[in-house]
């Protein structure tokens, strides 16, 4: 039940993400908008995910309600996200009403980011250490499936019936999943019906243990993030996510704007074909992370991404041949989920006791910032250079990060041996 719950909750998060950041972004590119305009749109949609770290301590501070432990945060924000999604029905022409559409997606992202922070806090508090790799694989797999529905599915609806019906379909899916969340126990202390005696099921002293003061939470959060080892570990992860975002945004824009690919076909390729294989690889990666350790898996994945970026972008002049470009897109579908399966357990292990949810949410906010920053950098860089050069630079940067990690690992081994 735990695996299923996190799987479908992340499906729910992935649908709007796939719709806004892939389907709509590709649609705007096909309509002739500049790379900088599209990059700005993606950045506006992603801004609430950057400030997500503010919500973690508040969620940890006010954990209990009549409907369950942290459940009120999830259900409330899902309902508000559904209402925000309904507001998209006011947009009749996404190009002419780009400002209005950006504002509505921005409002939706605010509620979705709180929902995401709530789910992450629940996950890190109830998932055993030995299962974190597999649970993260299910979470990432659910997100990928949601992105596939939002990008490939809703892009197809938008292509044949218009933006209005795509927004309506998204809203209907969010409504159904919100109703499902209300009926599921997200913690073993939750009941199936609201209870006004919810504190009776909580162990003595929980008010002091689980609901500390906000000042204490923010202090511990700051100390956990600013610890030297944690900064170094997260810095590598953040740079890889940024490089991934820069490459895929520039590559997608190049295919649509320069090679004149259809935006719907592009969205289907990015979110549709190969989703089953990607899910299987992601779930398999979770098992591998639990067995060999996420740190070793992280280096392997970084090496694979580095090799792909350098080789694939060196054939940039041959991207006019669709089989090569399609193969590149299909292979890239494995990069982000596999790296996330390795990186998420590492970030969970860095979190301090009693503020695990807040610290992990802060890391997720910064990862989201990397994605937004990557989109913005990509839009800016495309005005000065080409997508193959951008991808090559990203590959070289990841190579430097691999060398840095190996060097630090060897230093640590030498120090331990000396001791």
Residue pLDDT, tens place only, 78-133: 999 999 999 999 999 998 999 999 999 999 999 988 888 888 777 777 777 777 77
Question: Residue 360 — very low, low, confident or very high, per pLDDT cuts 50/70/90?
Answer: confident
Q: Across residues 237-242, what is the average pLDDT?
A: 94
Res 410: pLDDT: 58
Scanning the structure block, which residue is given the tokens 């507001």?
87
Q: Can you give the pLDDT at residue 306?
A: 95
Which of these, 96, 94, 108, 118, lies nearest to 45 by C-alpha position? 108
Contact 242, 369 (CB under 8 A): no
Q: Is the pLDDT of residue 195 over 60?
A: no
**Higher confidence at residue 76 or residue 186?**
76
Confidence (pLDDT) at 266: 67
**Higher pLDDT among residues 355 and 413, named by residue:** 355
DSSP 192-239: SS--TTGGGGSPTTHHHHHS--HHHHHHHHHHHHHSHHHHHHHHHHHH
pTM given for the model? 0.70
146 within 8 A of 154, measured Cβ to Cβ: no
Give the pair of three-digit tokens for residue 81. 């996200």
Domain boundaries, the chain: 2-190+220-418
Residues 145-180: pLDDT tens digits?
888 888 888 988 998 899 999 999 999 999 999 888
pLDDT, residue 170, reads 94
* CATH number of this structure's domain 2-190+220-418: 1.20.1250.20
- Residue-level pLDDT at 68: 60
Is the CB of residue 156 less than 8 Å from the CB of residue 268? Answer: yes
Q: Residue 36 pLDDT more than 60?
A: yes
Say how far apart CA 105 and CA 82 lie, in whole Å.
Answer: 11
Q: Which of 135, 46, 128, 120 is nearest to 363 (CA)?
A: 120
Position 203 scores a pLDDT of 44
Q: What is the C-alpha separation between 111 and 226, in angstroms, rounded?
A: 27
Q: What is the average pLDDT value for the chain, to the nearest integer?
A: 81
**pLDDT, average across residues 199-224:** 62
Average pLDDT of 244-273? 78
pLDDT surpasses 70 at 66: no
305 contacts 339 by C-beta, under 8 angstroms: yes
pLDDT of residue 277: 65
Query: Mean of the pLDDT values across residues 373-400?
Result: 90
Least confident of 167-171, 289-293, 401-405: 289-293
């Amino acid at each position: 039940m735990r695996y299923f719950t996190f799987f479908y909750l992340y499906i729910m998060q992935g649908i709007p993400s796939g719709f806004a950041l892939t389907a709509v972004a590709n649609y705007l590119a096909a309509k002739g908008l500049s790379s900088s305009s599209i990059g700005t749109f993606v950045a506006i949609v992603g801004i609430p995910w950057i400030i997500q770290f503010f919500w973690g301590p508040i969620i940890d501070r006010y954990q209990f309600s009549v409907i369950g432990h942290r459940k009120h945060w999830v259900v409330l924000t899902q309902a508000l996200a559904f209402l925000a999604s309904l507001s998209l029905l006011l947009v009749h022409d996404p190009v002419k009403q780009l400002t209005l559409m950006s504002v509505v997606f921005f409002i939706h992202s605010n509620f979705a980011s709180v929902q995401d922070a709530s789910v992450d806090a629940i996950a890190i508090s109830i998932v055993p250490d030995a299962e974190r790799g597999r649970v993260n694989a299910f979470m990432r797999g659910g997100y990928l499936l949601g992105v596939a529905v939002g990008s490939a599915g809703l892009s197809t609806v938008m292509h044949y019936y218009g933006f209005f019906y795509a927004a309506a379909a998204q809203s209907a899916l969010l409504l159904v999943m919100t109703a499902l969340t209300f009926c599921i126990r997200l913690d073993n202390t939750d009941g199936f019906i609201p209870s006004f005696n919810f504190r009776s099921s909580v162990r003595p002293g929980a008010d002091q243990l689980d609901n500390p003061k906000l000042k204490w939470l923010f202090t511990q959060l700051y100390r956990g993030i600013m610890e030297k080892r944690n900064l170094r570990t997260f810095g590598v992860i953040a740079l890889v996510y940024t490089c991934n975002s820069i490459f895929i945004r520039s590559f997608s824009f190049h295919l649509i704007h320069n090679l004149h690919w259809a935006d719907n076909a592009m969205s289907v390729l990015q979110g549709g074909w190969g989703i089953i294989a990607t899910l299987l690889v992601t779930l398999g990666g979770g098992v591998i992370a639990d067995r060999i350790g996420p740190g070793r898996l992280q280096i392997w994945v970084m090496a694979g991404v580095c090799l792909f970026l350098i080789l694939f972008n060196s054939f940039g002049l041959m991207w006019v041949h669709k089989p090569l470009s399609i193969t590149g897109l299909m292979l890239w579908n494995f990069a982000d989920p596999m790296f996330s399966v390795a990186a998420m357990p590492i970030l969970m292990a860095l979190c301090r006791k009693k503020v695990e949810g807040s610290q992990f949410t802060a890391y997720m906010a910064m990862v989201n910032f990397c994605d937004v920053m990557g989109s913005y950098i990509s839009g800016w860089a495309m005005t000065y250079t080409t997508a193959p050069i951008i991808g090559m630079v990203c590959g070289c940067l990841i190579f430097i990060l691999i060398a840095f990690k190996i060097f630090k690992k060897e230093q640590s081994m030498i120090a331990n041996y000396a001791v």
